Amino acid sequence: MERRSLIPYLLLLPAIIYLLGFIGYPLIQAFYLAFTKDGALSLDTVRRALSDYYFWDALRNTLLFAAVIVPIQLGLAVVLALFMNRTFKGRDLGIYALIIPLTISDVAAGLIWFSLLSPYGFVNKLLMNLGITNTPIYFFGYQFRTREFFVIVLAEIWRATSIVFVIILAGLQMISREYLEAAEVFGAGYWTRLRHIVLPMLKPSIQSALIIRTLFAMQIFGIVLILAGRDIPVLAAEGYRQMVDLKDPGVASIYALIIAGISLILAALYVKFLRAEYLEVSRQ
């Protein structure tokens, strides 16, 4: 009996070791570097981080990217998943095509979009050959930061919508056809079924997709570095600069803790406001 009672703990042991080694210890180390100086508690590192020239711009840009990218990706993924959840010829091919960007890294995606939109890239050559413009349209550079922002948003939506799509499609396929068929028998139209059956039962998948995408959106780095450099500073890139270029692990830890803190707060809000509800199949 005692041996059997130990089995669950032994099965959990690898996960516990992983969490302690790769999350717990780095988190403790980050707090230590951020809030100590010469072995004593100090807020000097926090002051230096908050007074950094790029800090507030990086915070604003990171939050703005997350606020713009995540809702668009979610809406687009839901529409695509609803369409692909039907049975039609070429459906599997369409799903494969939609998830191809999932295999592309953010750096590779940035290079693809940079080559497409550079002054003598494919898009500008096409526009000039069609006679739409006589000179190249510049999408990159400090004076074109607004264009850079929208190019980054477009590239990130193209690259990472697929992961949201996969999660939502999996959630749709878990919804029993019996619920939808019963509602149809009672006269419920498509939009009624979507509003009162599909979307409520899809809440756990939407919640998971939002949490995952928000976590990654808060860490946006590679694609910004390729397409904008430091024209558009973000938290992850500034943390990297503090650690690698300026050799300041304390300030870099502040950036990392801010990213983690905001991500945890947003995840908690998603859990609170998108709490899964059970659909009542029958009522007394």
The mean pLDDT value for 187-216 works out to 90
CB atoms within 10 A of CB 204: 15
Query: Coil, strand, or helix at residue 187?
Result: coil
Each residue's pLDDT tens digit, 10-45 = 888 888 999 888 888 989 999 999 999 888 889 999
So what's the architecture of 44-273 in CATH? Orthogonal Bundle (1.10)
Q: Decide if pLDDT at 3 tops 70.
A: no
Place of tokens 């991500």: 263
pLDDT band for position 1 (50/70/90)?
very low
Computed from CA positions of residues 206, 210, 216, 220, in that sequence, does the dihedral angle turn out positive or negative?
positive
Dihedral sign, Cα of residue 202, residue 203, residue 207, residue 213: positive
> Residue 238 — φ and ψ, nearest 5°?
-70, -35
HSE of 163, CA atoms in CB hemisphere, 13 A: 19
Look at residue 99 and give its three-state secondary structure: helix
- Euclidean distance between CA atoms 36 and 44, whole angstroms: 8
Residue 19 and residue 195 in contact, taking contact as beta carbons nearer than 8 Å: no
Q: How far is 101 from 166, CA to CA, in rounded Å?
A: 12
- Confirm if 236 and 222 have CB atoms less than 8 A apart: no
Mean pLDDT for 164-169 is 96
pLDDT at 278: 44
Band of pLDDT at residue 183, cut at 50, 70 and 90 = confident
Find how far residue 101's CA is from the centre of its chain: 14
Q: How far apart are CA 180 and CA 185, in angstroms?
A: 9
Q: Which residues contact 256 (CB under 8 A, 6 or more apart)?
A: 30, 239
Comparing 125-129, 158-162, 273-277, the range with the smallest average pLDDT is 273-277
Q: So what's the pLDDT on residue 179?
A: 84
Q: What is the pLDDT, as a whole number, of residue 40?
A: 87
| C-alpha to C-alpha distance for 155 and 107, rounded to whole angstroms | 11
Contacts of 266 (CB under 8 A, 6+ apart): 66, 211, 214, 218
**pLDDT per position as a tens digit, 72-102:** 999 999 999 999 998 888 889 999 999 998 8
**Mean per-residue pLDDT, 178-201:** 86
Q: Say which amino acid occupies 39.
A: G
Query: Which of these, 108, 109, 133, 130, lies nearest to 119 by C-alpha position?
Result: 133
Query: What average pLDDT score do residues 254-261 get?
Result: 96
Share of the chain above pLDDT 70, in %: 95
DSSP 101-129: GGGS-HHHHHHHHHHHHSTTSHHHHHHHH
**pLDDT of the residue at 31:** 93
132-152: average pLDDT: 93
